[in-house]
Amino acid sequence: MTRKPRRRTPVAKPAADPRPHHPLSPSNWTKWVKCPGFERRRDDEDEASRARLERGNRAHAMFEAALTGEPVKDTGEDACDLWEQAEWAAGEIARVAPRNLRVEVRLEMPQYFGYADATADGHVWDLKTGYFDDGYRAQLAGYALAIMDAEMRDELTLHLLYSEHQRHEEWTLTYDEAAAIARDVLAARAAAVEKREGLVAGDICGRCALAGTCPALATAAAPAIEAAVELIPAEDRPHVPAGQLTSESVTSDPLAAGRFLFAFKAMEDIAGRAEAFVRAELMDGRPVPGFELQNGASPSYVPAEEVVRWVPSIGLERVVAAYGGMPVASFKKLYAQVFPDKEFPSAITHQGKGYKRLCRVKPRKSKKAKALTA
Ligand code: SF4
């Protein structure tokens, strides 16, 4: 990436709403420095992901309000916490006495555009509400490059504000350093997209849309799968020939899929025990390469005693209707406690929609296999 001898002003434009997204935006670089082939899964927006996203959006809105002095409209139950975090982040920015402070700034390079949370003369800040991630440094380098390019600066100070943990990371990049990061990330991305080169399997694979067909992940997972297959008693293994399992084969070939699931189920248990061990080591202060314990927000709930206290005001019918039905076993237990001499009225139970459980069974040789071995 070469620096163009031009001066563009203004460097930043107000973001449109909804703001467009560039496919090469630095917000993707966080993942691409780990694996340049990473593609965000669209179907992973489960309830927990949505809740995280919503909380992140609210935290950013508060941060903006804390910087601009605009009124805050958030009435969520954790609004006070978010406001405290936003004020902390705004305070960190105020410490450098910023000149020409701007929020939610669109930054452009010929190859991409993206949005930084705040900029001022010589500085760029981004607010992060989740866990620490070194990949964010590449994202900020992308923003910093756009600023330096537009303002003809040779150096910029970058800031990551982890508001939930009140951790402020600050460092300086020269134009050449930022350009080198951008060049490397974009070149690796191009090679990954065009030739599937440079893929690196790791913990982000679980959130990658390509996980089902990725050759790098199949290669990385193969030894673990093979090792797990060895853990299963021979007579318990499906009668299928051994062979390398790939992401493609385990999702298209029934024999390979069977072997893979046997292995995976065995690994699940071992992985659970390995995780417990790693947690214990870290809790005791012994390092485990590649892992650390970080604080996370646990899901909020209304305790049972509070529900009981509010039932008279809200109404039992509305509370139960909102909560939903009860498992038959739990209801039966309750019934037996209150009516110990009465038979349970089975007619009040309902059968859920047909759900078929996947069970492990002893493999049987097919007629074809028997004929071959006869
Ligand atoms: S599944 Fe493949 S492309 Fe996706 S992150 Fe993992 S290694 Fe990269």
- Cα 1 to ligand 1 centre (Å): 26
Q: Which pLDDT value is given to residue 131? A: 82
The first and second tokens of residue 302, run together, are: 């209304």
Q: Which pLDDT value is given to residue 212? A: 75
- Cis-peptide, bond into residue 238, ω within 30° of zero: no
Lowest mean pLDDT among 8-17, 250-259, 313-322, 362-371: 8-17
Q: Which pLDDT value is given to residue 290? A: 75
> What is the reported pTM?
0.69
Are 153 and 30 members of one domain?
A: yes
- Asked whether 221 lines ligand 1 (CB < 6 A), one says no
249: Cα within 13 Å, side-chain hemisphere: 16
Average of pLDDT values for 51-77?
Answer: 87
In a domain, 295, yes or no: no
Q: Which pLDDT value is given to residue 90? A: 94
Q: Which residue has the higher pLDDT, 269 or 206?
A: 206
In a domain, 85, yes or no: yes
Are 144 and 228 members of one domain?
A: no
Kindly report, residue by residue over 321-350, the tens digit of the pLDDT.
777 777 788 888 889 889 989 988 888 887
C-alpha–C-alpha distance, residues 237 and 217, integer Å: 24
Q: Are 178 and 156 in contact (CB under 8 A)?
A: yes
In a domain, 165, yes or no: yes
Q: Which amino acid is it at 209?
A: A
- What is the band of 362 on the pLDDT scale with cuts at 50, 70, 90? low
Are 220 and 325 members of one domain?
A: no
- Asked whether 228 lines ligand 1 (CB < 6 A), one says no
Q: Which pLDDT value is given to residue 185? A: 97
3-class secondary-structure state, position 170:
strand
Lowest mean pLDDT among 194-203, 213-222, 336-345: 213-222
Boundary (domain end) residue, out of 134, 166, 195:
195
C-alpha–C-alpha distance, residues 301 and 206, integer Å: 27
Most ligand 1 atoms within 8 A of CB, residue of 200, 203, 213, 246 to mutate? 200
Are 311 and 251 members of one domain?
A: no
C-alpha–C-alpha distance, residues 23 and 77, integer Å: 35
Ligand 1: residue whose CA is nearest its atom 6: 205
Q: Which residue has the higher pLDDT, 247 or 337?
A: 337
Lowest mean pLDDT among 98-102, 184-188, 291-295, 332-336: 291-295
Q: Which residue has the higher pLDDT, 177 or 256?
A: 177
Average pLDDT over the chain, rounded to whole? 82
Are 223 and 85 members of one domain?
A: no
Q: Which pLDDT value is given to residue 115? A: 95
Are 67 and 142 members of one domain?
A: yes
pLDDT above 70 (res 277)? yes
Are 253 and 326 members of one domain?
A: no
C-alpha–C-alpha distance, residues 340 and 370, integer Å: 56
Average of pLDDT values for 209-215?
Answer: 83
Average of pLDDT values for 124-153?
Answer: 95
Residue by residue, DSSP assigns 74-93 as: ---TTHHHHHHHHHHHHHHH
Average of pLDDT values for 246-266?
Answer: 75
Q: Which pLDDT value is given to residue 268? A: 75
pLDDT above 90 (res 353)? no
Kindly report, residue by residue over 39-49, the tens digit of the pLDDT.
987 655 667 77
Cα–Cα nearest to 361, from 265, 269, 220, 291: 265
In a domain, 355, yes or no: no
- Asked whether 38 lines ligand 1 (CB < 6 A), one says yes
Residue 57 belongs to domain with CATH number: 3.90.320
Structural domain count of the chain: 3
Kindly report, residue by residue over 292-317, the tens digit of the pLDDT.
887 665 556 788 888 889 988 888 88
Average of pLDDT values for 112-134?
Answer: 94
C-alpha–C-alpha distance, residues 243 and 340, integer Å: 59
Q: Are 66 and 86 in contact (CB under 8 A)?
A: yes
Q: Look at the alpha carbons of 204, 209, 212, 213 in this order and tell me if their dihedral is positive or negative.
A: negative
Domain residues for the domain of 319 are 306-348
Q: Which pLDDT value is given to residue 200? A: 94
Cα–Cα nearest to 116, from 133, 96, 97, 93: 93
Boundary (domain end) residue, out of 165, 195, 225:
195
In a domain, 10, yes or no: yes
pLDDT above 90 as % of the chain: 37
Q: Which pLDDT value is given to residue 4? A: 44
Most ligand 1 atoms within 8 A of CB, residue of 32, 33, 38 to mutate? 38
Ligand 1: residue whose CA is nearest its atom 1: 211
Are 258 and 189 members of one domain?
A: no
In a domain, 297, yes or no: no
Q: Which pLDDT value is given to residue 170? A: 97
Q: Which pLDDT value is given to residue 9? A: 33
pLDDT above 60 (res 319)? yes
> Cβ atoms within 10 A of the Cβ of 295, count?
8
In a domain, 292, yes or no: no
Are 169 and 272 members of one domain?
A: no
Q: Which pLDDT value is given to residue 355? A: 62
Are 149 and 263 members of one domain?
A: no
pLDDT above 60 (res 1)? no
**284 Cβ partners below 8 Å, 6+ apart?**
none
Q: Which pLDDT value is given to residue 373? A: 46
Are 24 and 114 members of one domain?
A: yes
- Cα 138 to ligand 1 centre (Å): 18
Are 43 and 112 members of one domain?
A: yes
Most ligand 1 atoms within 8 A of CB, residue of 40, 189, 210 to mutate? 210
